[in-house]
Chain A
Amino acid sequence: MRLLLVEDEIDIQSFLRRSLEEAGYEVEAASDGKTAERLAIENPFDILIVDLGLPDQDGITLILKLRQLGVRAPVLILSARRSVDDRVRGLEQGGDDYLTKPFALAELLARLRNLLKRNSPAGNDATRLRVQDLELDLLRREASRGGQVLQLTQQEFVLLEYLCRNAGRVVTRSMILDKVWGMRIQPDTNVVDVHIYRLRGKVDAAGQQPLIRTMRGVGYVLKDR
C-alpha cells in the first residue's frame, strides 16, 4: 500500500513514517502543499494522510486541488484545530475521514484500514463472523462460543461485533466510543472498561482461553490466534 503523508511537523512526520512503515505501508512524506501536489501527480497513491495546517496552503485547499487533478485515493485528514470545520464534514461525507490531534496510533491505523476497505470494490457483507471458536450470526444477532450461545445484550453484541471485525488489531477506547456509541468524547471515568469487563465475563467464561486482551495505555484487542 502506497501512502502519501503530508505533515509539516518534522517530529510527527518521523514517528508517523516509522509506525506506518512498521504497519506495512510504503510511505512517502511531504512537508508542504507544493511538494505533496508534485508527488501525488508523479506517482499513484492508495491513500493519503493530510494535515490541515500546512505552511504554504490550507490542507482542505490541497485536497480539493488534488481531487481536481484526478487523485481518487481516500484521505485521512489530521487536524490540530479545535472545532471540526464544515468543509471537513463535507469531505467526511465524500468518503474521507478526519482525526484530531493528538491521536492514538492504533486509531490512526484503524481509520486508514477503514478508508481502504470502504474504497475497495469487494464489500464485506458476510452474515457470519468467526474468530477462533467465537461465532457471530449478524442476521440473528446471536453470538456463540464453542457452540455455546452467549447471552448478550444488544449493546454488548454491537461491541463484540466491532471487536471481531477488528480481530487481531488494537482498538482504543475512543474508537469504541465512536463506532459503538457514535460519540467522540473522552470520559474522565472508566466507562468503556466496565463494558469490556462485562463482555469479557460472558465471552471468556472460566476455563476458556481468554480472547479479549487489554493493551495497557492503548486499548483492547480480540486475539485471532
Chain B
Amino acid sequence: MSSKTGKPPMRSAAWRISLWATLAFACGTMVVFVFLQSFVAGDIQRRSDVWLSGEIKTLGDVAEHTPKDALYDTVVGEVAELAENEVPNKQLSESGSDDAVFFLQVGSDGALKLWVGAGSGEDHLKAIRASNIPPDRPTDVLVPGFAVPFRVASIRIPDGSQIFLGLSDRDELRVLRSLRLRFLFLWILIVLLGFGIVFFTTRRMLSHVREITEAASRIGHADLDARVPTTRHHDEVSQLALTLNRMLDRIESSMHQLHTITDSLAHDLRSPLTAIRGKLEMSLSTVSDGEHTEPIVAAIEELDRLTDFLNKSLDVAEAKADALRLTRSEIDLDGLLRDMIDLYEPSMSEKGLKVTQHSRGSVKILADAALLHRMVANLLDNELKHLPAGCGLSIELSVDADTASLVLEDDGPGFDSDVLQNLFERRVKGRNSNGHGLGLAFIDAVVRAHGGTVTAANRQAGGARIAIVLPLAAEKLHAAQ
C-alpha cells in the first residue's frame, strides 16, 4: 500500500518535525518580540520624559516672566501646541476637549494658582500631593476618574510656587497596544509561514526516503535485480539509496551463487537419477514375470521418493535463505483448495476420514501456482498419513482486510509435544512418522516465500491446528479501498 494515499499527513514524520521546529521558532521569535516591545516602550517613555522635563523648564521660565493674567493664555497655547506635536494621532476624549495634557501651578501656600486642562484640577492636585513627586524626574500619577495614569513633571520657580505639567499615558499605551497587535499579527504570520516552509521541505526530503522504502519493499524475492531510485543531490538521502543499492548488489550476487550451487547440485543428482530410472523402466518392460518385477517396481518407487526429497530439500534450503524463486500469477485460492480436496477426498473417505470445506467465495492471491499446489498437497498428505480412521478434518478459508487465512483443524492425536516447538525445522518429524521430515519445513518455506506466516498448535479440544496466513493480491486491496 502506498503511504502517499493511505497515511494522513498528521501522522507523518514531516508533520512532527515541522511541529517541533515551529515550536522552537515561535518561542524564539516571541522572546525577540517581547524584548523589542519593552525596548520601544522604554524609548517612548524616555522621549516623553525628555519632552516633559524640557517643557516644564520652558513653562517655568514663561510663568516667571509673564504676568499672571497673560499667563493663562500663553500656557494654554503652549501646552496645546506642544501636546499636539508630542502625541501624534491624539485621541480626543469623549467631552471633545483635550484632557491628555494639564498644567497646574500651586502657590507657595499650597493653593491652586493656575489650572489649564479638563475639569477643575482639584482631583489632579490631590493626586499630585498624595504621590509626592521628586523635582528632577517625571513620575506616574494616577488621578481618580482617569483610567490611565499621567506622567507628571514638576519644577519650582523662584516666586515659591510649583508648576506641574502632566501628560496622559493614554496615547503612549495606545501606541504600544497597536504595536503589540501588529507584532502579534506579524508573529502568527511568520510562524505559519515558517511551519509551511519547514513542513513542505521536510516532506519533500522525506518523500525521497519514502520512495526508497517503497522501492525497497517492492524488491522481493522475484526481482532482486531492481534498485531503489537515486537522486542527483549528494545528500544523506541519496547516500542512503546508494548504500541500499550496494547492499542489494551483494545480496543479489550471493543469491545468484546460492542458485548456481542448488541448480548444479540438482542437475548433477538428477542426471544419474534419470539414467537409473530409465534403465529400471526398460528392464521392467523386458521382465514379464511378477517375481522379478517386484524389486524393480520398488526401486522405481524409492527413486521417485528420493527425487521428491531432493526437490523439497533444495526448495527448503533456498527458502530458508529467502531465495526461493517464484513465478507469481493471480490464483483463486478457494478454487485451488476445492480442486485439491476433490483430488484427496476419495483417499480420505477410503480411510474413513471426513473432510469439510468452509469457504466464502473466491480468494485472489498472487502466488506461484506450482509451489502452492505442492504445499497444499503436502498439508493434505500429512493429514492423510497421520489421522487415524474415523477422524474429521475441517478446512476453512477466510479473508481479512489484506490477508487470506487457511486453517486446517483435525480431531486426531495432534502433534507430539516434543516436536511441537520446532515443528517447521528440517528433519523434525513425529515418532510414528515415516516421512522424511521435510513436509512442514517445506510448507513453512513456501508460505514464507509468499510473505505469509504459518503456525501449528494442538487444539484444546484435541487434534492439530495449522493456520496459514497469506497476503491477498494487491488488486483486491485497491478494489476494496
Give chain A's interface residues, CB within 8 Å of chain B. Answer: 9, 11-12, 15-16, 18-19, 22, 53, 80-84, 86, 89, 100-106, 155, 177, 181-191, 194-195, 198, 216-218
- Write out the residue numbers on chain A whose beta carbons fall within 8 Å of the beta carbon of B277: 102-104
Whether the Cβ atoms of B293 and A217 lie closer than 8 Å is yes
Question: Is B346 part of the contact surface with A, judged by Cβ < 8 Å?
Answer: yes
Question: Is B267 part of the contact surface with A, judged by Cβ < 8 Å?
Answer: yes
Whether the Cβ atoms of B346 and A19 lie closer than 8 Å is no
- Complex: A83 Cα to B384 Cα, angstroms: 28
Whether the Cβ atoms of B284 and A80 lie closer than 8 Å is no
Q: Which B residues, 252 to 306, have Cβ-Cβ distances below 8 Å to chain A?
A: 262-263, 266-267, 270-282, 284-285, 293-294, 296-298, 300-301, 303-305
- Write out the residue numbers on chain B whose beta carbons fall within 8 Å of the beta carbon of A16: 278
Whether the Cβ atoms of B377 and A11 lie closer than 8 Å is no
CB distance from B351 to the nearest CB of A (A): 9
- Complex: A216 Cα to B274 Cα, angstroms: 19
- Write out the residue numbers on chain B whose beta carbons fall within 8 Å of the beta carbon of A189: 344, 347, 381, 384-385
Whether the Cβ atoms of A12 and B381 lie closer than 8 Å is no
- Complex: A186 Cα to B308 Cα, angstroms: 7
CB distance from B393 to the nearest CB of A (A): 14
- Complex: A219 Cα to B395 Cα, angstroms: 30
Whether the Cβ atoms of A82 and B263 lie closer than 8 Å is yes
- Complex: A101 Cα to B340 Cα, angstroms: 24
Question: Is B343 part of the contact surface with A, judged by Cβ < 8 Å?
Answer: yes
CB distance from B356 to the nearest CB of A (A): 18
Pairs A–B under 8 Å by Cβ, sample size 11:
A11-B272, A12-B274, A18-B282, A80-B271, A81-B266, A82-B263, A86-B327, A101-B270, A216-B293, A217-B300, A218-B300
Say whether chain B's binding surface is mostly helix, strand, loop, or mixed.
Answer: helix
Whether the Cβ atoms of B282 and A217 lie closer than 8 Å is no
Question: Is B459 part of the contact surface with A, judged by Cβ < 8 Å?
Answer: no
A194-B347, A216-B293 known; A80 and B274 CB under 8 Å?
yes
Residue of A nearest to B306 (CB): A102
List 4 additional A-B contacts (Cβ < 8 Å) besides A183-B343, A218-B281. Answer: A86-B327, A100-B270, A195-B343, A217-B298
Whether the Cβ atoms of B381 and A187 lie closer than 8 Å is yes
- 0/1 interface trace, chain B 51-63, chain A, CB 8 Å (1 if under): 0000000000000
Whether the Cβ atoms of B284 and A218 lie closer than 8 Å is yes
A19-B278, A80-B266, A102-B307 known; A217 and B296 CB under 8 Å?
yes
Question: Is B223 part of the contact surface with A, judged by Cβ < 8 Å?
Answer: no
- Complex: A15 Cα to B417 Cα, angstroms: 49
Residue of A nearest to B305 (CB): A188
Whether the Cβ atoms of B267 and A81 lie closer than 8 Å is yes
CB distance from B430 to the nearest CB of A (A): 15
CB distance from B8 to the nearest CB of A (A): 41
- Write out the residue numbers on chain A whose beta carbons fall within 8 Å of the beta carbon of B384: 189, 191
Whether the Cβ atoms of B271 and A217 lie closer than 8 Å is no
- Write out the residue numbers on chain B whose beta carbons fall within 8 Å of the beta carbon of A102: 270, 273-274, 276-278, 303, 307
Residue of B nearest to A186 (CB): B308
Whether the Cβ atoms of B270 and A105 lie closer than 8 Å is no
Question: Is B311 part of the contact surface with A, judged by Cβ < 8 Å?
Answer: yes
Give chain B's interface residues, CB within 8 Å of chain A. Answer: 262-263, 266-267, 270-282, 284-285, 293-294, 296-298, 300-301, 303-305, 307-308, 311, 314-315, 325, 327, 339-340, 342-344, 346-347, 350, 370, 373-374, 377-378, 380-381, 384-385, 435, 439
CB distance from B233 to the nearest CB of A (A): 37
- Complex: A181 Cα to B370 Cα, angstroms: 12
Whether the Cβ atoms of A53 and B293 lie closer than 8 Å is no
Whether the Cβ atoms of B271 and A183 lie closer than 8 Å is no
- Complex: A181 Cα to B337 Cα, angstroms: 12
Whether the Cβ atoms of A105 and B325 lie closer than 8 Å is no
Whether the Cβ atoms of A11 and B275 lie closer than 8 Å is yes
CB distance from A157 to the nearest CB of B (A): 13
Residue of B nearest to A156 (CB): B346
Whether the Cβ atoms of A181 and B343 lie closer than 8 Å is yes
Whether the Cβ atoms of B293 and A84 lie closer than 8 Å is no
Whether the Cβ atoms of A101 and B346 lie closer than 8 Å is no
- Complex: A105 Cα to B381 Cα, angstroms: 26
- Complex: A189 Cα to B344 Cα, angstroms: 9
- Complex: A162 Cα to B63 Cα, angstroms: 133
- Complex: A100 Cα to B263 Cα, angstroms: 13
- Write out the residue numbers on chain B whose beta carbons fall within 8 Å of the beta carbon of A155: 342
CB distance from B283 to the nearest CB of A (A): 10
Whether the Cβ atoms of A188 and B381 lie closer than 8 Å is yes
A84-B327, A189-B384, A217-B293 known; A182 and B339 CB under 8 Å?
yes
Whether the Cβ atoms of A217 and B284 lie closer than 8 Å is yes
A81-B266, A105-B281, A105-B282 known; A190 and B347 CB under 8 Å?
yes
Whether the Cβ atoms of A82 and B275 lie closer than 8 Å is no
Residue of A nearest to B286 (CB): A22
Whether the Cβ atoms of B373 and A183 lie closer than 8 Å is yes
- Complex: A193 Cα to B477 Cα, angstroms: 41
Whether the Cβ atoms of B304 and A186 lie closer than 8 Å is yes
CB distance from B285 to the nearest CB of A (A): 8
- Complex: A103 Cα to B273 Cα, angstroms: 9
- Write out the residue numbers on chain B whose beta carbons fall within 8 Å of the beta carbon of A177: 343
CB distance from B51 to the nearest CB of A (A): 93
Residue of B nearest to A100 (CB): B270
CB distance from B330 to the nearest CB of A (A): 16
CB distance from B323 to the nearest CB of A (A): 11
A83-B325, A83-B327 known; A184 and B370 CB under 8 Å?
yes
A15-B275, A84-B327, A183-B339 known; A191 and B347 CB under 8 Å?
yes
- Complex: A44 Cα to B269 Cα, angstroms: 34
Whether the Cβ atoms of A195 and B346 lie closer than 8 Å is yes
CB distance from A27 to the nearest CB of B (A): 14
A187-B381, A191-B346, A194-B350 known; A12 and B266 CB under 8 Å?
no
CB distance from B385 to the nearest CB of A (A): 6
Residue of A nearest to B336 (CB): A183
- Complex: A218 Cα to B262 Cα, angstroms: 29
Residue of A nearest to B265 (CB): A82
- Write out the residue numbers on chain A whose beta carbons fall within 8 Å of the beta carbon of B270: 80, 100-102
A15-B278, A82-B263, A216-B293 known; A188 and B308 CB under 8 Å?
yes
Residue of B nearest to A154 (CB): B342
- Write out the residue numbers on chain B whose beta carbons fall within 8 Å of the beta carbon of A184: 370, 373
Residue of A nearest to B299 (CB): A217
CB distance from A44 to the nearest CB of B (A): 27
